[in-house]
Structure 1
Amino acid sequence: MRSSTRRGWLVGGALAVAVGVGSLAGSSVGASGSSSDLVTLTVGVTQDVDSPNVTVGYTVAVYELWNLQYATLTDKAAADFETIPGLAESWVASNDGLTYTYTLRDGLKWSDGTPLTAEDVAFTVNTSRDQEWFNHSSVTANLTATAVDATTVEITSSVPDPKLPTMDVYILPKHIWEEHANGDITAYDATDGVGSGPFTLKEWTPGQGWTMVANPNYWQGKPAIDQVVFQVFTDGAAMVTALENGELDAANDIPAEQFASLQGRDDIVAVAGAQGGFTELAMNGMAGGIGDGHPALLDINVRHAIAMAIDRQQLFDRVALGIGLPLHVLGVSPDQAWLPEIAEEDRLDYDPAAANQMLDDAGYLDTDGDGVREMPDGSQPLVFRYAERSEGTQGAALRELITGWLKEIGIDTEVTVYDDAQLGEIVYAGTYDLFVWGWTPFVDPDPLLSYFTCDQVTYDAAEAGYNDANWCSDEYDALYQQQNQELDKAKRIELVHEMIRLFYRESTYVVLYHDADTQAYRTDRFEGWLQQPAGTGPVIFTNSSPTYFNLKPIEGGSESGDDGSSVGLIVGIIVGVVAIAGIAVWVLSRRGSSRDERE
């Protein structure tokens, strides 16, 4: 899960302008709701939904929306991610382990009252396979689903599949999505609000937030909460203030500077949840042959020198404030068993003297004495374009330190600040040199590992893939295929370790640290908050987001002081108008472009 911009973004962006204009004045639901009869949970966030369309979106924010709106065939236990029944109440395997027959629960319905049947499952699996939906294909690429009857679906894999019987892709309503799948499915705005999860989308105002309402047809019963309102903040400190003032019930992505101040309070619980997410400095590997990345980045010596110039422990201490884990390898799962050790002789630890020597030896010299090295043939100075994210809470601090360290090894930078949608566009067009972003993995490592295969490299900006390292390797791809079909877990872990070590050596990504999901919630309104996994994970924005259905209002609990307009509407109007203006300018200046995806 991430944050960027994908195929179909131009259509989605233009639609977002229309949705935003129509909704700004009307969306003012706060922690007590627009009516005293509504039980409303209000959550502060720093990242907006990019697109509700499951074939287009990529951000952590939209995965939370999907987790609430679309149930899956199998679910994940809150305590330990164990595969448990979801829409399917049971399943059996064939003798060869290639076919699983799932039995759906009786009486399943979509939120609009339409029966949910095995046909919906077969449609989702087969169409996502054939059309290679980005958020489904790592699971469904080798699968064929057949609806035996209304409550029985048979799923067969063409190869051994270590992920089965887990089937955790979002099942879509065939009666809504089939017509769009027959055309350009990525152009569909997906604001229909028809789902099978505990809550469904009511409205989305880009730049301001989104509201989800309880699904009366949810298979576990109607939630105790009537609606969940997600409010977007551009200032993390303001979000924390709103939480402290009782204008929010919970908040996600709390700045590290404010997180400590929330610990130890009676009315607020602060949670630093771990689920394998990481922040990385990415370099343009130029594997797709498009864009205009700096040629020096094709040299592994330059990439290694950059890695060795960065004091990652200092970043962890000064920017993350020690919240998270000081790990420097690709995070592919919340389970650290999938993470390898890097041998001492292969580590690219902080060593600016060695980095300078490496560049000297490779012929990158400062021949004119301006403090900036040139290419070995003297043709071009080592001045790299650095793309800084405006969303999130750490971008500016990371940029200040990283660019300073690069300067110490003779590399200059030109910094431009982008929101996530803009950054996605330049990444997939290849018109960048460096950027800092992050990923949050799923429980199984396969999806995140798949992002860096050659199949996911972008060769045409209008048909972009997930591989924003813009790097690929035949060796990596071969290892990916092996782990994808290895049923022996110990052998599969070793294959994954080998892949991560290879990725580390190639260094188009420099993993800076593994993030903690810094969150907090109030204790005076709702009870039933669940960490996933138990004891170490976050309570919201998790792999399957079980907290929301589990929450119950505390009898006699405090109520918010207003209807939320002081936070949601005022902040939302300012942010929304700026976002609309920015999108409008972008649409006018980039009429031929497209795309959406990331954390």
Structure 2
Amino acid sequence: MRRFLVLLLVLSFVAIPLGGVVAQDEKVLVVGLSEDYSRLDPGRAYEPGGSLVYHSVYDTLVTFPSDSTAEILPNLASEWSISDDGLVYTFTLRDDVTFSNGDPLTAEDVVFSINRMKNLKDNPSFLADTIASVEAVDDLTVALTLTAPDPAILAKLVFDAFSIVNAEEVQAQGGTDAEDAAETDTAEAWFNGNSAGTGPYVLESYEPGVQTILARNEAYWGDAPYFDRIIIQNLPETATQKLSLEAGDIDIAMDVIADQLPSFESNPDITVFSTQSDTLIFLLFNQDPEVGGPMSDPQVQKAVRYALNYAELAFLSGEGANTPAAMVPIGFAGALDPSEGVAQDVDMAKQILSDAGYADGFDVDLEYPDFNYIGTDFNVVAQKVQADLAAVGINVTLVPQEFQTSLDLYRTGAQGFSLWLWNPDYQDTLDYVEFLPGGVVGLRANWTDENADQEILDLRDQVKVETDDAARIDLFTQIQHYEQESAPFAPLFQPGVHFAYRSDLQGFAYNGQWRVDLTQLSY
């Protein structure tokens, strides 16, 4: 009965635009999410929560299975080949794919999409740094040439920012793939209310901070999805998600916290899924003394790593949480065994601080986004960090910030000491080179080639182009040992990730890239 009443539940919970007529028996999926995205231009895709939308509306050349990241599968590309020198990837496109407006997919659309993403020079553009050129060999063949061998390139191409868009339609809305796209592209506003993809759904509407509504793509080239509409409702409070799920107002709660699990598990109408996520929660120390103050001192950073009680921090995230030994999460090739991690040693931390000239401690602000991510409450984690550091004489003032405000400060390297998370852009250990000098996160800590040791610069440059698996693991082992001693970061834990959903919902599967494939769900 519920599947036929779901629309009535939705209407009592969210505001459906009145401009459209909705059939009474329309099948609607409602998802409760703590929204972390503020725009829906695939060329600028970066925030994890946005993957629910991008993966439903757009396709990439290659993809993963719905329930794992263990292998690369064909998607818009039916097959591909790699040159002997590892520099040229040639993709053959499917010949039966159309965009949502009915236009056929061509190689020119692929060229435009990748070049636009790269030339926008937005947050995900670094993923295309190893791409020298993209060329249309013919209507259904694309040649992608690299500047150097990139063992992670296929995994990168699964990421949302490599979504393929309809070049002609986007150009008509001010989009461009020219080298000056960062200054001249004007399609972002259009993308916030429209879409130009080949996926099972189209974007019907988006109200930032309120809801995102997707409608079935009637021109979809694959099997039609079960649901006519998907509503992603912004519910920042986990308690609200819980109450809404129990009332039947939403079908999935995306941000369940550990304390809620017993209540959900005792409810026969609700199913719980828990696992260890590949999200890394960490502390950042700014290397610029004018920004980081005492936190820019490598000895202070080392003392902080010894001061933390990692087991108690991981406990805050509940079932499935664990602490990686360094900045490569557990589960990625080459990650150190957790037993090799830094163990809490308060006396050691005090001694290091004393040797560094801080025997009497010091005061510092800890900045962080005031939000909950996959069940991890950043306020609670910050309070635990505050308590641990107080034991060694570091007096922390907590500075919670509105999410977007904090994100902007973090991305511009303006936070001296902060609490953040990293969700992998692509499922390869090479993604964690971004925590090294000159990397995306490295620069947010103002860790540059100019202020870094030659040792870590050499390791970084070697691992970027190494294609032999054993050699890569050896290099990543050396990098992580270096990070334990000298990097401007402290890994706290990988949260357990918890979802709760209506028990009659079928097809639920977890994938680290997009979390849940909404297009595969049904009743």
TM-score normalised by structure 2 residue count: 0.85
Per-residue CA shift, 1:547-597, capped at 9, x if unaligned? 3222223xxxxxxxxxxxxxxxxxxxxxxxxxxxxxxxxxxxxxxxxxxxx
Indicate the SS of the match to 1:413: strand
Provide the rounded CA distance (Å) in 2 between the counterparts of 1:72 and 1:321: 34
Residue number among 168, 175, 180 corresponding to 2:175 in the alignment: 180
* Cα deviation 1:47-99 (Å, max 9, x = unaligned): 33222123444321112222222201011123442111100112233344432
CA distance in 2 between partners of 1:101 and 1:247 (Å): 47
Shift in Å, 1:531: 3.2
Q: Hey, what does 1:513 align to over in structure 2?
A: 493
DSSP 3-state at the match of 1:324? coil
CA–CA distance in 2 between the matches of 1:260 and 1:343? 29
> Could you tell me which residue of structure 2 aligns to residue 16 of structure 1?
none
**1:64: which partner in 2?**
52
Is 1:523 the counterpart of 2:503 in the alignment? yes
8 A contact 1:307–1:348 mirrored in 2: yes
- Equivalent residue in structure 2 for 1:324, among 321, 324, 342: 321
Matches of residues 229-308 of structure 1 in structure 2 within 5 Å? Answer: 229-263=231-265, 265-286=267-288, 292-308=290-306
Letter in 2 for 1:71: D
- Residue in structure 1 matched with residue 219 of structure 2 by the alignment: 217
Deviation at 1:308, TM superposition (A): 1.5
> Does the CA contact (< 8 Å) of 1:147 and 1:153 recur in 2?
yes
Counterpart AA for 2:297 = D
Aligned-residue offset at 1:257: 0.9
User: Are positions 1:170 and 2:158 aligned together?
Assistant: no
Correspondence for 2:379: 396
Say whether residues 1:86 and 2:75 are aligned partners: yes
Aligned to 2:461: 481
Q: Does the C-alpha gap of structure 1 residues 259 and 94 become closer, same or farther in structure 2, counting only changes over 3 Å? A: same
Instruction: Return the letter of the residue paired with 1:244.
Output: E
Instruction: Determine if the alignment matches structure 1 residue 551 to structure 2 residue 521.
Output: yes
Give aligned pairs, total: 486
Alignment of 1:68-467 (within 5 A): 68-81=56-69, 82-139=71-128, 141-165=130-154, 167-168=157-158, 169-178=162-171, 179-181=174-176, 182=181, 183-185=183-185, 188-189=188-189, 190-191=191-192, 192-263=194-265, 265-286=267-288, 292-317=290-315, 319-331=316-328, 335-341=331-337, 348-366=342-360, 373=361, 382-392=362-372, 393-441=376-424, 442-450=426-434, 452-454=436-438, 456=440, 467=443
Cα distance change, pair 545–514 in 1 and its aligned pair in 2 (3 A): closer
CA RMSD between the two structures: 2.7
CA shift, 1:325, in A, is 1.8
**Rounded Cα–Cα distance in structure 2 between residues aligned with 1:546 and 1:262:** 19
Q: Over residues 107-157 of structure 1, what are the superposed CA-to-partner deviations in whole Å (9 max), with x where a residue is unaligned?
A: 321112222210011122334445545324324533422112211112222
Write the distance in 1 (CA, Å) between the matches of 2:187 and 2:285.
30
Structure 2: gaps (5+ residues) = 1-12
Gaps (5+ residues) in structure 1?
A: 1-24, 367-372, 374-381, 458-465, 533-541, 554-599
Cα distance, 1:35 vs structure 2: 4.1
Q: Does the aligned pair in 2 maintain the 1:48–1:209 contact within 8 Å?
A: no
Contact kept, 8 Å, 1:307 with 1:507, in 2: the verdict is no
Kept in 2, the 8 Å contact 1:110–1:173? The answer is yes
Q: Secondary structure at the match of 1:148?
A: strand
CA pair 453-364 structure 1, distance change in 2 beyond 3 A: closer
**What's 1:471 paired with?**
447
**Percent identity among equivalent residues?**
24
Deviations for 1:279-323, whole angstroms, at most 9, x for unmatched residues? 11222222xx8xx42421221111111121111111222x12343
Q: Is the 8 A contact 1:76 1:84 kept in 2?
A: yes
Write the letter of the residue equivalent to 1:153: V
Look up the equivalent residue of 1:283 and give its one-letter code.
F
| Shift in Å, 1:407 | 1.9
Q: 1:283 to 1:97 in 2, by over 3 A?
A: closer
Q: In the TM superposition, what is the alpha-carbon distance from 1:106 to its structure 2 partner?
A: 1.2
Closer/same/farther in 2, CA of residues 217 and 273 from structure 1, 3 Å limit: farther
Which one-letter code corresponds to 2:229 in the other structure? Q
CA deviations over 1:494-535 (Å, ceiling 9, x no partner): 2223223323322422111111221111122x3222233xxx
Structure-2 separation of matches of 1:475 and 1:125: 34
The Cα offsets for residues 390-412 of structure 1, whole Å up to 9 and x where unpaired, read as: 21151221122211222222222
Question: Shift in Å at residue 259 of structure 1?
Answer: 2.1
Once the two structures are TM-superposed, the CA of residue 270 in structure 1 deviates from its matched residue by 0.8
For 1:502 and 1:137, the matched residues in 2 are separated by 24
- Aligned ranges for residues 554-573 of structure 1 at < 5 Å? none
In structure 1, what is the Cα distance between the partners aligned to 2:258 and 2:319? 9
Tell me which of the two structures has the higher relative contact order, counting C-alpha pairs closer than 8 angstroms and 6 or more residues apart: 1
Change (3 A) 1:282 1:390: same
Aligned partners of 2:412 and 2:444 also within 8 Å: no
CA distance in 2, matches of 1:349, 1:545: 31
What amino acid sits opposite 1:454 in the alignment? G
Flag the 1:470–1:140 CA change in 2: closer, same or farther, 3 A. Answer: closer
In 1: Cα distance, 2:440 partner to 2:365 partner: 23
Alignment partner, residue 567 of structure 1? none
Tell me, yes or no, if the aligned pair for 1:300 and 1:506 is still in contact at 8 Å.
Answer: yes
Shift of 1:451: 5.3
Supply the distance in 2 between the matched residues of 1:204 and 1:120 (Cα, whole angstroms): 25
The reply on whether 1:43 has 2:36 as its aligned counterpart is no
Distance 1:545 1:198 in 2: 17
Tell me the secondary structure at the aligned position of residue 159 of structure 1: coil
**CA distance, structure 1, for counterparts of residue 433 and residue 22 of structure 2:** 44
Tell me which residue corresponds to 2:3.
Answer: none
Question: 2-side partners of 1:314 and 1:199: how far apart?
Answer: 42
Post-superposition CA distance 1:314-341 (Å, at most 9, x none)? 1222x12343223342245x73333124
- The one-letter code sitting in structure 2 at the alignment partner of 1:419 is E
- Letter aligned with residue 216 of structure 2: A
Q: Distance in 2 between matches of 1:281 and 1:139?
A: 27
Classify the secondary structure of the residue corresponding to 2:510: coil
- Per the normalisation by structure 1, the TM-score is 0.75
Structure-1 separation of matches of 2:125 and 2:58: 13
Partner of 1:584: none
- Go from structure 1 to structure 2 and tell me whether the alpha carbon gap of 1:399 and 1:421 turns closer, same or farther (over 3 Å shift): same
CA contact (8 A) 2:215 2:228 kept: yes
Cα distance in 2 for residues equivalent to 1:360 and 1:545: 45
Instruction: Call closer, same or farther: CA 1:141–1:95 in 2, change over 3 Å.
Output: closer
